[in-house]
A and B are shown apart, each in its own frame.
Chain A
Amino acid sequence: MRKPLFGIQVKLVVLLVLILVFLSLAGYQVFRGLSQIEEGASIITDRETPFVRTIEEALSAMITAENASEQGLDVDDPAQLDNLKSLEQTFETENRQFRMFIAAITWGSETDAFAHSDDGANYAAWNHGGLKGKLIVEAPDAAEAQLAAQAGVYYEGFVNNVRKAFAAREEYLSLSEAKKANEATAAKNDSKSAQTQARSFSALTAQNLRLMVQESNQTTTDSANSLLNIENTVIRDTTIALIVGFLLCIIVGFVFSERVIVMPINSLVRTAQAFGSGMLKERATIRSRDEFQLLANAFNDMADKVAHYTTGLQEEVEKRTKELTDANARLLELDKIKSDFISVAAHQLRTPLSALKWVLGILKDEGSQNLTPEQRSLVLKGAESNERMVNLINEMLVVTRIESGKERFAFVPLHVEDIIENTMIDFAGQAHVRRINLNFDKPLERLGYISADPQKIRDVMQNLIENAMRYTLDGGSITVRAVREENMAHVSVADTGIGIPDAQKPNIFNKFFRADNAVKLITDGSGLGLFIAKSIIEKHGGTLTFESSVGKGTTFHIRLPMSTPGEDKTA
């Protein structure tokens, strides 16, 4: 069997892949949202936080520098010149740090800030402060870079003027020490003037740094809001993706099971039902290219063979039926010929037999004194044989008439028990001789009328009782009963005779049939009596049945319909 190209397993895998795609869609929404959240969070943690920290460091450096300058420019005692120098050094150190921080913001990285350093002085200060590698500043945007660069310019103004103020202050202290009051005052004024300028630049620098912090705060706020939006979007998108994916999975699963499993099975069921109901040309038409198609192909192959066999069988049956019909017709023809022959033969035989009977009767009755005992015995045997032959011929004539439908019935209302009683009188003597207990259970009340031909019913009763007498051994018993069963008169003749073998029961009413044990017991007999009896009873609308057990006896049952007022059967 060739494996199908798109088997159910392959289709199932495709279905699972499809479901996986739907689920991946939901998963993608989750990962995309997480990625965006990570991106937004990194803006805050990786960029804005170091950025603000850098600004704070720059501001701190500037404030320290400014404090140093303010302290230095407050020095009024020439003895504190060394202190002034020390504050000046502090100021310069902070300057270098400030420049480094601003450079880091302006140029976007620590490395670029080092490259931009003032001949390594900034780098040295940076390194000395233990800040190397600790400050990470992402590339600034245009506005941030502008603000940082402007802050740098303003800070230079601050530095230049502080330096001028320091120089003027040093000059002032020298002149004061030299007791040059006028020059000292002028130098002090220059110092204060430069300090004022420095303060204004310091304010400008601080203002720019605050603006940078504001910008950064705004960016942080925007990022935080963006994160909230992303979170909501992720929840919404994921929910929708899951719902849509779930619905799609249900629908696709339903369509899959409908198309791939249910429809082929239903199609195959319909085809099988149609085929089973006799539509032998019905075939499965499944083109699913999977196992169901293989099954359909196998079914079609089987159907082809069954149809072929069935068609052949039908033709054979028709042929045999025709042969049987023809044979039956020929048999009927032969039977008719035989019946005609028997009828003709019987009629032709009865006349000479009647003549013989008459002659033998004369010899027996009138010439008996003239006959020797031996002659007399021969005449009696001849008369007896002649009597049997006449009876046989009569029975054959009856059968012929029955079969040809020419037997006449004269229906009259009668009591069946009267006919039974009269018939049994004929057998009383014989029963007595053979010590057979012949009884008639006469009903206490009359059964009522039946519409029947009294002679024919008498013939039936005579036949049945005669049979019982013949096949019941001496000392046995024969019981005749007559009862009414609703609207039927039921007459039974039960004997304790030899019984009928089971194998021969079906043939017991056939013409010329005699059971083996009956033939063995009494060779004489035509085998026509029961056929005639059954035919007569059926002509009366009744039934003749029997029950028998070998060695125990036989009971014949006659059931005749009771007569209804006004009924008049004619035949």
Chain B
Amino acid sequence: MIVMRTYLLVAIVAILIAGGGWWWFKGQHAGTSAAPKQATQGAQTEIRVSPRQQMTREQAAKVTEVALAPQVESVLEKEVQLLQALASDPEVLSATRASNDANKNLSFADITSLDTAWIATKSVTPTIQKFLTNQGAQTLLAFQKAHHEFKEVFIADAFGLNAAETDKTSDFYQADESWWVNAMNGGAGRTLHGHIEFDQSSHTEAISVYVPVLDGTKAIGVIKGVIDLSSIGAAL
């Protein structure tokens, strides 16, 4: 009788401890979800995802649809026109086509591998050097020299891979980023700009402008130009 009573009490203790543990665990997680809004560093103008997580166009559109005051949009429109002129430059068209031809047989695994290697490389390797010095890059550098407000310009081809660039980009594969998806617009092409971006190292602010490279009416790539925000302010 005593043994049965003891077993019963032990069972009650075990149930209470298990219940308490569950309640405590639940409390821990409820506590985190109830926490107030946390500050985050810097503005996120684009969503960076891995190559395997392709963003839908609808999702991308929500991120990069940015509206500034008409006066600012007017100034940006002028910059867009400069980039559009660059996008129609024969050298740019040629470089984009060449890149598309060169990359058309790459598998997704190849692209992933190239992107991973690019991201891991901190210095300028011969492979990267090629994108900084090819004919397309020469054209971009000349454009940048004529228009100092552009801090950086580069071309991403129809596969989202870099075709030419004025500076080493952080990654090689752009098709996983919303701006590329929106600017390609499924081959129809679309011009847009992003949020104001912040560069903590140089303490500068910028706005990126995205212009499709059109081969006729078909977008075969995107030119991304990063404009110093101070030049926008000065133009107002």
List residues of A whose CB falls within 8 A of some B CB. Answer: 25, 29, 32, 36, 39-40, 43, 47, 106-108, 112, 115-116, 138-142, 144-146, 149-150, 152-157, 160-161, 197, 200-201, 204, 219, 222-223, 226, 229-230, 233, 237, 240-241, 244, 247-248, 251-252, 254-255, 258-259, 263, 266
Contacts and interface: CB of A to CB of B under 8 A. Distances in A.
Interface string B221-236: 0000000011011101
Contacts of B40: 139, 141-142
A488 B42 CA distance: 127
Given A152-B233, A248-B17, A258-B2, A201 B71 contact: yes
Contacts of B37: 43, 141, 219, 222-223
A197 B72 CA distance: 12
Nearest to A198: B236
A226 B36 contact: yes
Contacts of B236: 153-154, 156-157, 160-161, 201
Contacts of B10: 255
B203 A47 contact: no
CB-CB nearest 6 A-B residue pairs? A156-B233, A157-B236, A149-B196, A116-B203, A145-B43, A226-B36
B69 interface: yes
Secondary structure at the A interface, as helix, strand, loop or mixed, is helix
B232 A153 contact: yes
Contacts of B198: 106-107, 145, 149
Contacts of A43: 36-37
A296 B20 CA distance: 38
A301 to B, nearest CB: 26
Contacts of A247: 16
A39 B35 contact: yes
Interface string B1-37: 0100110011011001101100110010011001111
Contacts of B31: 32, 36, 233
Interface string B46-74: 00000000000000000000001101100
A255 B236 CA distance: 82
A266 B232 CA distance: 93
Given A154-B69, A156-B234, A161-B236, A252 B13 contact: yes
B44 interface: yes
B102 interface: no
Contacts of A141: 37-40
A154 B30 CA distance: 42
B233 A153 contact: yes
B101 interface: no
B127 interface: no
A274 to B, nearest CB: 17
Contacts of A154: 69, 72, 236
